[in-house]
Copies of this chain bind each other. A is one copy, B any other.
């Protein structure tokens, strides 16, 4: 049976790096086959799994047989070796994981730009704080993270690699790609400005996007459009 991914339908969100990994490896998977009804089962605090799994904290969830895994980077840690998306040296897995976690931290900070006070309130009720947070994000945080990843690419290029770890694509590359892509949607001006200064990172973004299976996926209906999810575009936050 194919693994099942369960996530909020309607935007790429926190499931997207998992989809990119499955698509890059041409793995079979079902994407939230039960739709919203199925998802709601898992987000209810009273959820008790008939198979005895402890309750997931939040989607995305990967159903592997009778088991439920959650947390984006954890699901990738599980899938990485099976999908051929980690290097085969002893420490490679940890290098991939630390880079994936770091790129994913940037997506959390992107989320905080539109919800700096709390996820339980509307954006409209925290717009002033959002404007202040987004200014810091654009001027300090995007440059810090992008500069870091550009340095990692630079150091690995010394070993003739075009990717973050080892000699070929890993899931850390896909997490980073997805975060840059989300930022290009949410903060198009700030993101293009920073990418314009970082030749290696910009080339990396373009290279991953042109990988045949990624390109096919991005052009398919399986790729959902950005909307009011993790990455949101508010013009006033991208001045």
Indicate if the CB atoms of A94 and B112 lie closer than 8 Å. Answer: no
- Whether A59 is near chain B, meaning CB under 8 Å from some CB there, is no
B-contacting residues, A135-152, CB 8 Å? 136-137, 140-141, 147-148, 151-152
The CA of A118 and the CA of B57, in the complex, are separated in Å by 26
Indicate if the CB atoms of A94 and B117 lie closer than 8 Å. Answer: no
- Whether A73 is near chain B, meaning CB under 8 Å from some CB there, is yes
Note all chain B residues with C-beta closer than 8 A to A156.
54
Q: Mark A78-113, 1 if CB is under 8 A from B, else 0.
A: 100000000000010011011001100000100010
- Whether A120 is near chain B, meaning CB under 8 Å from some CB there, is yes
Note all chain B residues with C-beta closer than 8 A to A165.
54
Indicate if the CB atoms of A118 and B91 lie closer than 8 Å. Answer: no
Interface residues of A, CB < 8 Å — how many? 47
Note all chain B residues with C-beta closer than 8 A to A164.
54
Indicate if the CB atoms of A155 and B98 lie closer than 8 Å. Answer: no
Indicate if the CB atoms of B67 and A91 lie closer than 8 Å. Answer: yes
Indicate if the CB atoms of B101 and A55 lie closer than 8 Å. Answer: no
Note all chain B residues with C-beta closer than 8 A to A112.
112, 116
Indicate if the CB atoms of A45 and B129 lie closer than 8 Å. Answer: no
- Whether A32 is near chain B, meaning CB under 8 Å from some CB there, is no
**Could you list 5 examples of A-B contacts with CB < 8 Å?**
A45-B148, A55-B151, A69-B98, A70-B98, A116-B133
Other contacts beyond A54-B155, A55-B148: 5, CB < 8 A: A52-B155, A54-B156, A55-B152, A69-B91, A117-B136
User: Which 5 pairs show the lowest CB-CB distances between chains A and B?
Assistant: A118-B136, A71-B98, A74-B98, A129-B129, A54-B152
